Structure 1
């Protein structure tokens, strides 16, 4: 089975650990618990996805406390993405997609493309700086109300030295229903060198 196909087959959440964050909002939110999930099909390699105030959101379920879900959707910009194992003399491609668009029960618009950056130097990636050629601007996780939890998956590929990565005209017209498998195959990207995901739902639900 090709790697991108495995991304859509995730069903359950296996809670690995809980990270407790002190909250001072009200009595109900006296403790903020961030669930870390274990899913070896996606959580592979030490890929960090760092948001301000939240820290590393890799393989985590974003909690409602401290308005984390609202901040993620409405205020925080693109995260720092860090991969300390990156090769300094190589370039990388970062892809962020939602396989649960518009909902996990009816993902007819999978994969919704949220971010696509090419020509990221390994040197920058090792310190969490995403500088490169932006093919799709970052769009924050914004699950529609009533659609439940969505997975936002980050895949990092080593970029072939002899290939110029681009989107075709059809791909640039729409973010939804993106054929990720075809994109990966057409540029011979192979398997991701690292990947992760965060899980969240609409902050008003």
Structure 2
């Protein structure tokens, strides 16, 4: 069976745990950048070791995107699509290395939460595509990317439960 691509959804949320990454300002002085992990309740969504990797941030799964070093700005305005890796994919699979291949259902759209709207959740779901089953978006889904029912899509193509999933939270870079 082939692995199907990743779905991106958004909603609001809060979180709790923290880890730090030391970075340097242009003058060489260290600046500590805090990375907050999602709460244990929200962390349950993250399963199966799916990795979403952005430049300079690494794997952002189950974290809040920090405001330091303009990470939120760069995420929403500069960086292209993240590398999506699934270490448990079949040996030699492109998805294992973060280079998934296949038919792109929709192009990547950068996270861009509106100003003063709080945190937004961006979820990545990985499904295993049934063998010899073509998967495509319908007319309604093509007209309104991101505004269609993921549940109906999964049901229509008999995808079952996600093999793996993860999420991150970010808010407008000016907030």
TMscore range, shorter length: 0.7 to 0.9
2:129 paired with 1:159? yes
Q: SS of the residue aligned with 1:134?
A: coil
Instruction: Indicate the residue corresponding to 2:157 in structure 1.
Output: 187
Structure 1 gap segments, 5+ residues each: 1-6, 89-121
Report matched runs for 1:76-155 at 5 Å.
76-88=79-91, 123-155=93-125
Query: Which has the higher relative contact order, 1 or 2, with Cα contacts under 8 A spaced 6 or more apart?
Result: 2
Instruction: Indicate the residue corresponding to 2:5 in structure 1.
Output: none
Write the deviation string for residues 11-69 of structure 1: whole angstroms up to 9, x where unpaired.
552x344132324269xx93110112243431111111110111111111001100000
2:25 paired with 1:55? no
- Cα distance change on mapping 1:179 and 1:190 into 2, 3 Å: same
Tell me the TM-score normalized by structure 2: 0.84
C-alpha displacement of 1:149: 0.4
How many residues align structurally? 163
Contact 1:23 1:32 in 2 (8 A): no
Write the deviation string for residues 58-100 of structure 1: whole angstroms up to 9, x where unpaired.
1110011000000000110011111110135xxxxxxxxxxxx
Instruction: Indicate the residue corresponding to 2:32 in structure 1.
Output: 31
Moved more, 173-182 or 148-157: 173-182
Tell me the TM-score normalized by structure 1: 0.73
CA RMSD of aligned residues (A): 2.3
2:151 paired with 1:177? no
